[in-house]
Amino acid sequence: MPPSNKCRAADGSAPPRCAPWVSLLLLVFVVSSCGYHVAGRGNALPQEWKVISIPALKNKTSSYRIEQRFTQALVREMISRTKYRVVPEEKDADAVLEGQINSLETTPVLFDPVTTRATLMLVSISLRVRLVDRASGKPVYQNANMVFRNEYEIATDIPSFFQEEGPGLDRMARDFARTVVSALLEKF
């Protein structure tokens, strides 16, 4: 049995009722080739770069070793999501990703109604980051006011007390690292 020619007239031309389908197919083809891409797959950094230096962030707060948490998180994220080799020394790199922790504030949010002790704390941290092309000395990316917030609980029962500040800061460090690396890779 010959194939059906429902969308063809006797002279071979398409009748008007098939025009919407042809238009829809054409529209789907055009939209699918407009340059859209899956998030997390782009790379806006120069192709000639192979090595990025991430020296330890500067710590302008009184919080002990917080810069180490944030630097380590940034290095881990850069290694896991990019093809770049990450080194601590600037002299060995094509670009330098530098940063500074400007402030760290801890504010009580909730209190135990019986003891009036704080049970929930809000931690806010302010940072600045900058990616510099080492050859030209020009900044490729910079954000002078990155702010991250996270909450952590304080146990009221002393025997089962668990200090949640450390894990809370680790979560903030991971959020910071994901945000910075995404900004670098996804055209800021």
The predicted structure's pLDDT at residue 128:
96
Task: Report the CATH number at residue 117.
Answer: 3.30.160.150
pLDDT number for residue 31: 52
At 20 the pLDDT is 64
**How many structural domains compose the chain?**
2
Name the residue range of residue 31's domain.
7-37
- In this structure, the answer to whether residues 104 and 81 fall within a common structural domain is yes
Q: Do 17 and 69 lie in a common domain? A: no
46 in a structural domain: no
Rg (CA), the chain: 27
Q: What is the pTM of this model?
A: 0.70
**Do 13 and 57 sit in the same domain of this protein?**
no
Q: Are residues 90 and 154 located together in one domain of the fold?
A: yes
Whether residue 123 is found in the same domain as residue 70: yes
CA pair distance 106, 120, nearest whole angstrom = 10
Residue 11: what pLDDT?
59
Strands (E), 81-137: 85-87, 95-111, 118-133
Residue 128 lies in a domain: yes
CB count, 10 Å around CB of 158?
6
Within the chain, how many helices (H) and strands (E) appear? 3, 6
**Residue ranges of the chain whose pLDDT lies below 70:** 1-42, 155-165, 187-188
Q: Which of 56, 184, 176 is nearest to 125 (CA)?
A: 176
Residues 29 and 57 in one domain: no
In this structure, the dihedral spanned by the alpha carbons of residues 184, 106, 151 and 55, taken in order and rounded to 10 degrees, is 30
The rounded Cα 181 to chain-centroid distance in angstroms is 5
Angle between helix 66-81 and 165-185 (nearest 10)? 40
